[in-house]
Chain A
Amino acid sequence: MARAAQPTVSRALRRRETVSGYLFMLPSLVFFLGFVVIPMVICIFTSLTDSMMNNTKPVNFVGLANFQKLFQDEKFLEALKNTFIIVVVSVPVTCAFSLWVSSAIYKMNNFFLSAFRCIFYLPVVTGSVAVTVVWKWMYNNYYGVFNYLLGPQGLGVIEKNINWLGDPRFALGCIILILLTTSVGQPIVLYVSALGNVDQSLVEAAKVDGATNFQVFWRVKWPQMMPTTLYILVITTINSFQCFALIQLLTSGGSGTNTVMYYIYYTAFKLTSTAGHFGYANAMGVILAIFIGALSALQFWLAKER
């Protein structure tokens, strides 16, 4: 009898453990469903309608009309182009710069290593509004520190002040520069950690076999850091695609700096007198999510191939 009862007790225990597990998971699950899954579903559904903020009229299903309109909208296409420029420039530069800094500092003693990590991580933990206000002051056309340094009183490189944020030749580059400073902190910390975890016996074996420093890095260290690199690439790509606060606070999408994220915000919240603006903004959100998903998948695939 005791033997026959054993599996029943075990099943009951297992069930209880499973229930406990789900109960522990429940708070996170509620948040995940409430703040990720359900909004995603609402976003996709709304993108197929002419929904409008503050609307008292019934919402109409318009199929893919919003998506068709998107690709004829010059402003959206310009925003998409700018977003891709930001991603294409900032992702490789962030990765390369972080790797370079990490390689230079990871062998330092603990004091200097911690100091550098703090310095590079500081912009990440500083509020984005505070960071932006300081940069705005540095870029200022009339009394900014950049114009002072480059102007006749400084290096004398420029004759007249440059309107950094008001001139489309410079504005997007200025935004990317700020984005870089706020993006490199985490990759540096991660790369320092990854470099510290590289198997030293493999490095020593390669050196004994006559490998150069470059070959040691490329053939031994780099493959071991690939998971870290993949994570950094994906995170940086997503962050770059979602560039919003800098645009809103510095240029309001002007001077050739409009991005998809800002245009979504603008369409959703500023164009309240335009019919269907909610549906249209959500359609942009869907397109942006597709691009982010596709690029991340590509990065995973490339990393796997290697």
Chain B
Amino acid sequence: MKHTKKILALVLALSMVFTLCAFAQADGVEPAKEITLWTYPIGNWSNEEVVNSLVGDFEAETGIHVTVDYLTYTDGDDRVNTAITAGNAPDLLMEGPDRMVAGWGAQGHMVDLADMFDEKDLEEINPTVMDVVTSDDGSVYLYPLVMTAFCAGINVDAFKEAGADQYVDLENHTWTVDGFKAAVKALYDHFGSTAVAVYCAGQGGDQGTRALVTNFHGGTYTTPEHDGYTWDDPENIQAIEELAEMKGQGLEFDASLVGGDEIALFYQGVLKIALCWSIQQQLDPNLAGTGEGLTMNGEQIAFMNFPSQEGVDPVLNGGIWGFGIFDNGDEARIAAAKQFIQYMCDSEHTAEAVRQANYFGVRSAAADGTVDLSGIWDDNETMKEFNATVVPNMGDYYQISKGWNQARTAWWTMLQKVGEGEDIPTVVAQYCAEANEAAAAG
């Protein structure tokens, strides 16, 4: 009996110790010492030298080694998809909500980061951004870092030479639809070549063509609930018809270009208007390092809101980027990845991480309010001007709509058909229906 009691006591004691150990491990998982980060080209987060510096500082502070791989928009999705299928997805990914929230997050491949946001974070982060990165079920698959509004760009010197500068308000960076039409005509009459290309060889940079069409007569692209596509509304059809009428008169539906090609041609001075412009491009056109706001030939570039009807505010497409964590089933790696996110997005290092992206931060302060982020671009006049004249026009972030991948393909294929001269209402209805089918299936 005496021995039995001793054995029982020992078993109980051991079980308590084991239980305590198990809880201790679950609560404070030791972070892994090595993680991987894949990043799409988001500002200088595509620049190896810059990223090495940011990541090097993180490594020095935490002892966690980060292996970085740089993706392109051409094959990045394929690489990530293949990696997921093969079971070797990266620990961290830097991209936007359309891929991480509506795509891989909704498919169950990403870690829910909701536990990383306390009340203070929710106060500091832009509520619209927080809404976009939060799924219907409350999961958060992307910790946001930066945001911007996509815009257009014009070659100011060319506009002045052609007398088209009278049609743009360079102070407020706005123009009307009639002003846009008149400017394109003036440029064509003067230079005799295409001034603006409605590029449609692929989905790259399609935010520009979408914004051009929807702003022409105030059309919409998706439903407010993001469960369907509305680009076949009469306003958009009218806009596309008017754009099609401009064909051969300075505007072309160009099925040989994507957004990146258009930027290159604009930078080279060939095209006089860019639809795939952004503040990142304005600060470093074509990422060529040849001077802020200048073309290759030294001509001045101005960023512009998309043309809208007289008295109507333009509605711009937004861009949001941040980090997500792939659920590879390794708690230690997930813990290390979360530490990386905390370091970049909510610490005294956040200002630098934001600045290197050449976009605006999504939060007013970081590190429990101890770091003020509201003035990180105060030393840059271009950013201040952009923030005052373009960012306020940022509209609904609809890129998280269901069936988004297929809808993007339907959009540029539709523009190609319009360029080929097919009946516009028919072709718009056909491809919008295709997108809606994908939305219904998704």
Chain A positions near chain B (C-beta within 8 angstroms) = 53-54, 56, 139-143, 163-168, 171, 251-252, 254-255, 269-275
Instruction: Give the residues in chain B near A273, CB-CB below 8 Å.
Output: 103, 402-406, 438, 442
Instruction: Give the residues in chain B near A164, CB-CB below 8 Å.
Output: 256
Chain B interface bracket (under 10, 10 to 19, 20 to 34, 35 or more):
35 or more
Taken together as a complex, chains A and B put the C-alpha atoms of A168 and B202 apart, in Å, by: 15
**Would you call A166 and B254 a contact (CB within 8 A)?**
yes
- The closest CB in chain A to the CB of B442 belongs to A273
**Would you call B84 and A163 a contact (CB within 8 A)?**
no
Say yes or no: is B85 at the interface (Cβ < 8 Å to chain A). Answer: yes
Question: If A164-B256, A269-B78 touch, does A254 touch B413 (CB 8 Å cutoff)?
Answer: yes
**Would you call A166 and B103 a contact (CB within 8 A)?**
no
**Would you call B438 and A254 a contact (CB within 8 A)?**
no
Taken together as a complex, chains A and B put the C-alpha atoms of A119 and B255 apart, in Å, by: 33
Instruction: Give the residues in chain B near A270, CB-CB below 8 Å.
Output: 77-78, 405, 409
**Would you call A54 and B84 a contact (CB within 8 A)?**
yes
Taken together as a complex, chains A and B put the C-alpha atoms of A262 and B413 apart, in Å, by: 15
Taken together as a complex, chains A and B put the C-alpha atoms of A54 and B80 apart, in Å, by: 10
- The closest CB in chain A to the CB of B419 belongs to A166
Please give me the 7 A-B residue pairs with the lowest Cβ-Cβ distance, nearest first: A166-B256, A166-B255, A165-B256, A252-B202, A269-B78, A255-B255, A142-B270
Taken together as a complex, chains A and B put the C-alpha atoms of A163 and B406 apart, in Å, by: 26
Question: If A56-B108, A254-B413 touch, does A269 touch B77 (CB 8 Å cutoff)?
Answer: yes
**Would you call B416 and A254 a contact (CB within 8 A)?**
yes
Question: Could you list some 21 contacts between A and B, CB below 8 A?
Answer: A54-B107, A140-B256, A141-B257, A165-B201, A166-B254, A166-B256, A166-B419, A252-B258, A254-B202, A254-B255, A254-B413, A255-B201, A255-B416, A269-B77, A270-B409, A272-B103, A273-B103, A273-B403, A273-B442, A274-B405, A274-B438
- The closest CB in chain B to the CB of A143 belongs to B270
Instruction: Give the residues in chain A near B349, CB-CB below 8 Å.
Output: none
Say yes or no: is B348 at the interface (Cβ < 8 Å to chain A). Answer: no
**Would you call A54 and B406 a contact (CB within 8 A)?**
no
Taken together as a complex, chains A and B put the C-alpha atoms of A143 and B271 apart, in Å, by: 11
A-B contact count (CB 8 A): 86
Which of A165, A171, A252 neighbours the largest number of chain B CB atoms within 10 Å of its CB? Answer: A252
**Would you call B201 and A166 a contact (CB within 8 A)?**
yes
Q: Which of A143, A255, A269, A272 contacts B256 (CB 8 A)?
A: A255
Say yes or no: is B441 at the interface (Cβ < 8 Å to chain A). Answer: yes
**Would you call B441 and A54 a contact (CB within 8 A)?**
no
New A-B contacts (13) at CB < 8 Å, excluding given A53-B85, A163-B254: A54-B85, A140-B256, A141-B256, A142-B193, A143-B270, A163-B256, A166-B201, A252-B258, A254-B200, A270-B405, A273-B103, A273-B404, A274-B406
Say yes or no: is B420 at the interface (Cβ < 8 Å to chain A). Answer: yes
**Would you call A141 and B81 a contact (CB within 8 A)?**
no
Taken together as a complex, chains A and B put the C-alpha atoms of A142 and B413 apart, in Å, by: 22
Say yes or no: is B252 at the interface (Cβ < 8 Å to chain A). Answer: yes
**Binary contact track B212-249/A, C-beta < 8 Å → 1, others 0:** 00000000000000000000000000000000000000
Instruction: Give the residues in chain A near B109, CB-CB below 8 Å.
Output: 54
**Binary contact track B78-90/A, C-beta < 8 Å → 1, others 0:** 1001101100000
Say yes or no: is B377 at the interface (Cβ < 8 Å to chain A). Answer: no
**Would you call B405 and A54 a contact (CB within 8 A)?**
no
**Would you call A53 and B81 a contact (CB within 8 A)?**
yes
Say yes or no: is B265 at the interface (Cβ < 8 Å to chain A). Answer: yes
**Would you call B255 and A271 a contact (CB within 8 A)?**
no
Instruction: Give the residues in chain A near B77, CB-CB below 8 Å.
Output: 269-270, 272
- Taking the closest CB of chain B, its distance from the CB of A32, in whole angstroms, is 22
Instruction: Give the residues in chain A near B419, CB-CB below 8 Å.
Output: 166
Say yes or no: is B412 at the interface (Cβ < 8 Å to chain A). Answer: yes
- The closest CB in chain A to the CB of B107 belongs to A54
- Taking the closest CB of chain B, its distance from the CB of A126, in whole angstroms, is 21
Say yes or no: is B104 at the interface (Cβ < 8 Å to chain A). Answer: yes
Instruction: Give the residues in chain A near B85, CB-CB below 8 Å.
Output: 53-54
- The closest CB in chain B to the CB of A251 belongs to B201
Instruction: Give the residues in chain B near A141, CB-CB below 8 Å.
Output: 254, 256-257
Instruction: Give the residues in chain A near B436, CB-CB below 8 Å.
Output: none
- Taking the closest CB of chain A, its distance from the CB of B135, in whole angstroms, is 15
Taken together as a complex, chains A and B put the C-alpha atoms of A53 and B265 apart, in Å, by: 37
